[in-house]
Chains A and B, each alone.
Chain A
Amino acid sequence: MTVMKPAMSRRGFLASAAGATAGFTLAGCGDYKPVSARAANAKATLPTYIPYQGVPTSMPATADGVSVGYEHYPANPVKALPDGPPAKGPAIDIMTLIFNPVPPPVDSNVMWQALNKSIGCDLNFEITPVADYPNKFAVTLAGGDLPDAMLMLPPKDNAAATPGMLDALFEDLTPHLSGDNIRDYPYLANIPTASWAPCVLGGGIYGIPMPRPVSGGPVFTRLDLLKKLDVDPNPSSWKEYFQLCKDVTDHKRNQYAMGDPITAFDTTMQMLGGPNKWREEGGKFTFWLETEEAKQAMDAVRRMTKAGVMHPDAYTVTGKVKEWFGTGRLVINPDGAAAWNDYYTTYAPAAKGFDLGYLMPPSWDGGKGTYWSGQSYYGFLIIKKAPKARIKQILRAMNALAAPFGTDSYLLRKYGVRGPDHTMKGADPILTPKGTAEVTLPTTFATDAPFTLYYPVKPEIVKTQYAFQKDAVERLVRNPTEALYSPTNAKKSALLQKTLDDTRKGIMQGRVPLKEWDGVMRNWRKEAGDQIRVEFEKAWETRY
């Protein structure tokens, strides 16, 4: 009798499986050389800021970060590209993300066709929904088949974005953009310096920013509801603010003051003069959540929760706050700068008398509070290594995509082609349904002109928006780490922050005692916090 030998022994099988697994894992890793915090934060000469002044306004942009405002579009838009299409040549593949529904494809999108014609080459947008972009970015890098340009989220949100990777795969744009070299690209020179600073990694300018206003977004209030209740919309201390929250809360009418404990915490921190993510004093860094102000703010929100002024689903439901605010379930809601127009567009048609105001956080004990700056860029566009002529062609195309408000190029990007995409109300374009679908082409997530205050449907709100920004920049507290790179922060901060947020919410909800917070912060310091701090301090020393 013969004994049948198994085709593969158990050990052989396990060894093969382990080998295959290791092979797959390694295949997914980039072997870019690690860069120290000092080298990663080496300086580069930033582009000279040359503000565009082609379209006069009574609400100009200021050097400290107020955005330019316009009540109406110029009747005769300035020709942005007087010498014709600036980037004639082969098509440019751009991988980027989208927040909106995806636009119709180029063959049925007149706005996209007109844009390609005006630029002189085909812009092939490879679009990914925002939530999925980090995955797409990582696999595209690993695959090695890179598009000509791709959006890179800030390293703190994107562990794959390392200086070593940039150095290995993407073009150092310093020779093209630093200092006065940017004069060749006047619309890119119109982007404020604050937005360029984070594009410097490893001593080179590696990207073109997608600028955002440094004043961030306001603490919105439903002015129409506040007027009905006849309450003072401008509290002058935390006590008055807390009273306002109580006054506007009406459980029977399902109406609450606020709906998100995290933004309620941020607002309170600004009243306390707390740091915007990190505080820098003489080169020493302090994390915002390890301050006494943080503990005081948590306790304040806990009191608000206990008083019933927070929406009952505030701690359990995410992504609904905007809708609660728009439909009058909430009266106060901090949100992004672009949300101002969005709220009117989405909710005003259905709510009679819908009106927005804003609340500047007062100081805790009375007087003027501080205001945290927003992130001055959303991400930046990195360009694959290529011959000099090709890089210049791509930069010229991006320069065209940054043409500012008041130009024909801006009108085309934001409002499409007159007729199919928009109709005119005086000098102002109003999008048609077709236009609304077509202009979602995410040019704004390649690069863009600096944020502009403009809302043709309700031009009178622009003055209020401008007044808010002027007030905000006067009391601005900036995040000192915005332009700095810390390898440990890039790798670990997202996971650590989740743990911190879970406990923070527990304390604010009243489930976890406040005294536990010190232990949580001790763990954070041990896990990575102290390492992140050292890296930021070194980076600060190198950069400034």
Chain B
Amino acid sequence: MTTLSPTHPVRRRPPRRAYSAIPGETPGTSPWRALKSLILLICVVLVLLPFLAIISTSLADTAQVTKAGGYVLWPDNPGFSAYSALLSGGLVAKAMFVSVGITVVGTALSLLSSISLAYGLSRPGSFGHKPILMLLLMSLLFVPGVIPSYLMVKQLGLINSYWSLILPTMINAFNVIVLRSFFMGIPKELIDSARIDGASELSILTRIVLPLSKASVAVIGLFYAVTYWNAFFNALLYINDAAKWPMQMVLRTYVVNNAALSGGQVDVAAGAPLPPAQSLQAAILVLSIVPIVIVYPFLQRHMNKGVMVGAVKG
């Protein structure tokens, strides 16, 4: 009985190289890797430390904040007095509801209008293409001042209406230009073939263009959402009834209060003191960033792709 030797060559493992997790990174020696890890660890700590300080301060009691004379790194007796001071009376809770509503409705309308406009402007020869593009670019160059904007909103009868927080900022020219440049990069042949198959412009937009543009749309959506969430100035100008204020505006009164106390103008009767200013401010920061922190992980994948759009397109 003969033993057949294998006809195929034996695969040999390449010699083991130092492991590198980052593509393109040159392998290094152990001490060097340890040093790099240490540097990275320090960077991570430096990034996380302010977050920890803010969360800890928001939970710290008056005695500890007073003793520390500012921010604390770890609360000795954690409590929620700053959060209950902010959320008592239902005003912040209502303002949060208003903010969420404005952000959701505003972002949806902004995306709808920006996508429609950007798609129209990305198709050469569309109706009024050049004048509309010119008008759009003009809005980047000439920003209306506060008073003209106020007069416009007033003429439209939107004072004290939630629409005044959405309509004036519904279309951001920069975002439209970014979307337009992405749409223009979609191969013309794809759109032509869809058209030959009898697809309408709306079908082309919804079935061809948008599925290919998820990353850009996600990024622009996030930009709009963050803008609506953080906006307070329009509420300051257009909303006279404090009960209709969005959260950023209500929270601002706590921040302004702290700054203004040094003027000695507050004529408040004695009673239960508010939690320390730092705790309130820290709690305000936490409350303000929570929704964005919740939403961001779901969009991160698209965000990473989307932010490259502007980087590689001319």
Contacts and interface: CB of A to CB of B under 8 A. Distances in A.
Interface of A: 6-8, 13, 17, 20-21, 24-25, 27-28, 95, 98-108, 124-132, 135-136, 138-139, 142-143, 145, 147, 217, 254, 319, 321-324, 326-329, 335-339, 341-342, 344-347, 349-351, 378, 414-415, 422, 429-440, 444, 448, 451, 455-457
A101 B131 contact: no
A132 B236 contact: yes
11 contacts: A28-B147, A99-B261, A131-B256, A322-B261, A323-B277, A323-B278, A324-B69, A336-B263, A341-B270, A350-B67, A434-B89
Contacts of A102: 91, 242, 245, 250, 253
B134 interface: yes
A430 B146 contact: no
Contact of B269 (A13, A135, A431): A431
A336 B260 CA distance: 11
Interface string B76-110: 00000000010011110000000000000000000
A437 B63 contact: no
Nearest to A442: B267
Contact of B142 (A20, A105, A342, A422): A20
A356 B198 CA distance: 84
A335 B264 contact: yes
Interface string B246-272: 000010111011111111111111111
A142 B273 contact: no
Contact of A433 (B65, B88, B154): B88
B40 interface: no
Contacts of B89: 103-104, 108, 434, 437-438
A440 B148 contact: no
Contact of A99 (B241, B266, B277): B266
A142 B267 contact: no
A335 B262 contact: yes
Contacts of B131: 7-8
Contacts of A437: 88-89
Nearest to B148: A24
Select the residue from A25, A139, A324, A437 with max chain B CB neighbours within 10 A. A139
Contact of B271 (A13, A126, A432): A432
B31 interface: no
Interface of B: 62-63, 65-67, 69-70, 85, 88-91, 130-131, 134, 138, 141-142, 144-148, 150-151, 154, 159, 236-237, 240-243, 245, 250, 252-254, 256-274, 276-278
B11 to A, nearest CB: 65
A101 B267 contact: no
Nearest to B277: A323
B267 A338 contact: yes
Contacts of B269: 414-415, 429, 431, 439
B237 A342 contact: no
Interface hub of B85, B130, B237 (most chain A Cβ within 10 A): B237
A351 B262 CA distance: 19
A100 B257 contact: yes
A105 B91 contact: yes
B142 A135 contact: no
Contacts of A414: 269
Contacts of A439: 268-269
Given A322-B261, A440-B268, 12 more contacts: A7-B130, A27-B151, A105-B241, A105-B242, A124-B241, A129-B236, A139-B150, A345-B273, A350-B67, A433-B85, A455-B270, A456-B270
Contact of B145 (A24, A345, A346, A440): A24
A139 B148 CA distance: 9
Contacts of B66: 326-327, 347, 350-351
Given A13-B134, A108-B89, A143-B151, A457 B250 contact: no
B241 to A, nearest CB: 7
A422 B272 CA distance: 10
B62 A327 contact: no
Nearest to B155: A143
A104 B265 CA distance: 21
Contact of A127 (B159, B242, B274): B242
B271 A430 contact: yes
Contact of B147 (A27, A321, A349, A378): A27
Contact of A101 (B146, B148, B254): B254
Contacts of B70: 323
Contacts of A322: 261-262
B271 A17 contact: no
A97 B264 CA distance: 15
A431 B237 CA distance: 33
B235 to A, nearest CB: 10
Contacts of B243: 105-107
A98 B257 CA distance: 8
A329 B69 CA distance: 8
A6 to B, nearest CB: 7
A138 B89 CA distance: 31
A452 B164 CA distance: 42
Contacts of B138: 17
The 7 A-B residue pairs with the shortest CB-CB distance in the complex, in nearest-first order: A336-B264, A431-B271, A28-B147, A105-B243, A339-B264, A24-B148, A104-B89
Contacts of B263: 99, 336
A431 B236 contact: no
B261 A24 contact: no
Given A99-B257, A138-B147, A139-B147, A349 B134 contact: no
A43 to B, nearest CB: 29
Contacts of A106: 243
Nearest to B271: A431
Nearest to B261: A322
Contacts of B270: 341, 344-345, 430-431, 455-457
B154 A129 contact: no
